[in-house]
Homo-oligomer: A and B are copies of this chain.
Amino acid sequence: MIEISGQHLINGHWTNNGHDQFSSVNPATDSDNPYQFFEATADDANQAVATASRAFKQVRRLSAIQRADFLEAIATEIESLGEQLVNVAMSETALPQARIEGERGRTCNQLRMFATQLRYPTQAVRIDMADSDRLPLPKSDSRLSNIPLGPVVVFGASNFPLAFSTAGGDTASALAAGCPVIVKGHPAHPATTELVSHAINNAIIATGVPAGIFSMVQAKLPAVAQQLVQADDVKAVAFTGSQKIGDILNSLAQSRPTPIPFFGELGSTNPQFILPQLFAQQAQTLANNQVASMLMGHGQFCTSPGVVIVPNSAGLDQFIATLGEAISIASTGTMLTRAIAQAYQEKLAQWLSHDKLSLIAVGNKGQGSTQTPAAMFRVNAVDYLAAPSLHEELFGPCALVVICESHDQMLMLAQESPGQLTASIHGTDAEIIQSIDLIDDIAQHVGRLIFNQMPTGVEVCHSMQHGGPYPASTAPQTTSVGTMAVNRFTRPICWQNMPHGILPSELKDSSDALKFVV
């Protein structure tokens, strides 16, 4: 059992300079956990950055194999935390045991996937061979590889205490890229953060990589977050969270003397487009699938389906009735934090009194300030299009059914959609094939377009694109899930006429790395 110290991990040492503390809260009981955490000071944050910057000189010279070994060691060490990690994460998130265990599996698989990617890259380096006889000018040998950007700040995400936090996808891909990482732990699950940081520190010791490759600071107030994004030696930021906070931090990143990439995943309503034939045939199944998907993680998945676009045609009554039944018997759920629960309750109250929305059903209310009911509303397409605030994500177990009078209206909803991580189209094969116009319009607004499946459940694979036009992502040309996620933290460099013996190993003629040679 690891004793929770409430400290920061900087350069292999558990430390704190300040005296202010904040609590770990159990949302299930709406009471404090028995852990206190030191609020990082400006000095703590400075030290974390300075350490990462110094370490970068060694870290960038680690071989791909050394980085792979380190990532695999982190996975092993996380697994070694055993029940303690599961229990602590449950006590800080109110997520059920199976979910935490599943998320731990995903987190470790993800670390191992990036390790495999380092051992067997799937993207080719590029080599243009010299041609001294070329006219009018000889051609130089030139070879393109990727180098790491430098220290990366990763913000833990409230809704994935493992898979998008301390050793989550952002950290794993930045480490795979060869970047030192400074994690700013999410204040909703600081003990979970500390445990995972222990695992990473053990992996550092086990594999002999520089201690400065990973630091972690805990903070509840915004000062440290802002300081980290603005620190000269920080070269990129990864963030998953609200549009409001993401916009503020991105703006700081872009207004630095030297702007840096800000990879922010900010919000998505993941609209579900249902076509008439399938609607008429399977209204009940579609409604049940919608509710099941929306209730995963009590509506707190980034891919939660928050908007359902349906035709005003056969199936509608049954669809609405089924939604209503499913929602009204849905058990109450606990939100991840008091603040998230409060924001949800306020938005729900607005929707309940909104003159264009009709309530389909609201679920059980539960007890305490962190328990919230699921809910479902309906609105007609004209009113929805006229109210941009309805297009914003409502983070939690609530969705809006938008009813269209025509295919053209559905097209217009697709065209007017904000950027989304995902959208789904549900239809019979025949009607999908006839809906190329709709598919094309939706595609302009999403990172992932899904057919006849719900958006929750993001496959961690080579072809995954977890991103999408703003505000789904601040960097729609990149993904935060899957093997391509590592590209966020590298940049290409061209080595021209470099002596062969000192070329990066993957660019040498003798290397068996994946190469595109001209």
A398-451 with Cβ < 8 A to chain B: 419, 429, 432-433, 436, 439-440, 443-444, 446-451
Contacts A139-B459, A142-B463, A462-B516: A453 and B496 contacting too (C-beta < 8 A)? yes
A223-266 with Cβ < 8 A to chain B: 250-251, 254-255, 258-259, 261
Contact in complex: A140, B448 (CB < 8 Å): no
A463-518 with Cβ < 8 A to chain B: 463-465, 467, 469-471, 474, 476-477, 479, 484, 487, 490-499, 501-502, 516, 518
Contact in complex: A461, B497 (CB < 8 Å): no
A127 at the interface (CB under 8 A from B): yes
Contact in complex: B459, A479 (CB < 8 Å): no
Choose the segment among A24-32, A143-151, A165-173 that binds chain B (4+ C-beta atoms closer than 8 Å): A143-151
Of B457, B464, B487, which one neighbours A144 at CB under 8 angstroms? B464
Contact in complex: A61, B440 (CB < 8 Å): yes
Contact in complex: B261, A436 (CB < 8 Å): no
A137 at the interface (CB under 8 A from B): yes
Most buried by B among A142, A446, A496: A496
Contacts A258-B470, A501-B433: A493 and B449 contacting too (C-beta < 8 A)? yes
Contacts A143-B463, A457-B137, A477-B261: A499 and B450 contacting too (C-beta < 8 A)? no
Set of chain B residues within 8 Å of A449, measured between Cβ atoms: 493-496, 498
- Shortest beta-carbon distance, A209 to chain B, in Å? 17
Set of chain B residues within 8 Å of A501, measured between Cβ atoms: 433
A126 at the interface (CB under 8 A from B): yes
For the complex, give the distance between the alpha carbons of A314 and B450 in Å: 68
Set of chain B residues within 8 Å of A126, measured between Cβ atoms: 122, 462-463, 484
A274-309 with Cβ < 8 A to chain B: none
For the complex, give the distance between the alpha carbons of A511 and B467 in Å: 27
Counting every copy of the chain, the complex holds: 2
Set of chain B residues within 8 Å of A477, measured between Cβ atoms: 261, 487, 490-492
Set of chain B residues within 8 Å of A83, measured between Cβ atoms: none
Contact in complex: A476, B491 (CB < 8 Å): yes
Of B255, B470, B471, B493, which one neighbours A448 at CB under 8 angstroms? B493
Set of chain B residues within 8 Å of A463, measured between Cβ atoms: 126-128, 142-144, 494, 518
Contact in complex: A432, B502 (CB < 8 Å): yes
Set of chain B residues within 8 Å of A439, measured between Cβ atoms: 502
Contact in complex: A142, B459 (CB < 8 Å): yes
A369 at the interface (CB under 8 A from B): no
Most buried by B among A143, A452, A492: A492
Contact in complex: B465, A492 (CB < 8 Å): yes
A104 at the interface (CB under 8 A from B): no
For the complex, give the distance between the alpha carbons of A160 and B446 in Å: 36
Of B446, B497, B502, which one neighbours A436 at CB under 8 angstroms? B502
Set of chain B residues within 8 Å of A259, measured between Cβ atoms: 250, 470, 474
A67 at the interface (CB under 8 A from B): no
Contact in complex: B459, A140 (CB < 8 Å): yes
A92-137 with Cβ < 8 A to chain B: 122, 126-128, 137
Of B139, B440, B452, B492, which one neighbours A484 at CB under 8 angstroms? B492
Set of chain B residues within 8 Å of A496, measured between Cβ atoms: 448-451, 453, 459
A198 at the interface (CB under 8 A from B): no
Interface string of A147-164 (1 = CB under 8 A from B): 100100000000000000
A60 at the interface (CB under 8 A from B): yes
Interface string of A173-213 (1 = CB under 8 A from B): 00000000000000000000000000000000000000000
Q: List the B residue with the shortest CB-CB distance to A453.
A: B497
Contact in complex: B502, A447 (CB < 8 Å): no
- Shortest beta-carbon distance, A151 to chain B, in Å? 12
Q: List the B residue with the shortest CB-CB distance to A462.
A: B126
Of B440, B451, B470, B479, which one neighbours A60 at CB under 8 angstroms? B440
Contact in complex: B142, A464 (CB < 8 Å): yes
For the complex, give the distance between the alpha carbons of A476 and B150 in Å: 13
Set of chain B residues within 8 Å of A493, measured between Cβ atoms: 443, 446-449, 465
12 contacts between A and B (CB under 8 A): A126-B462, A128-B461, A137-B457, A142-B459, A250-B259, A433-B501, A448-B493, A448-B495, A451-B496, A477-B491, A477-B492, A484-B492
4 more CB-based (< 8 A) A-B contacts, given A128-B462, A447-B492 = A126-B484, A449-B494, A450-B496, A453-B497
Q: Please report A residues at the B interface, Cβ cutoff 8 Å.
A: 57, 60-61, 122, 126-128, 137, 139-140, 142-144, 147, 150, 250-251, 254-255, 258-259, 261, 419, 429, 432-433, 436, 439-440, 443-444, 446-453, 457, 459, 461-465, 467, 469-471, 474, 476-477, 479, 484, 487, 490-499, 501-502, 516, 518
Which 9 pairs across A and B sit closest by C-beta, in order of nearness? Answer: A144-B463, A465-B494, A126-B463, A448-B494, A450-B496, A128-B461, A451-B497, A465-B492, A128-B463
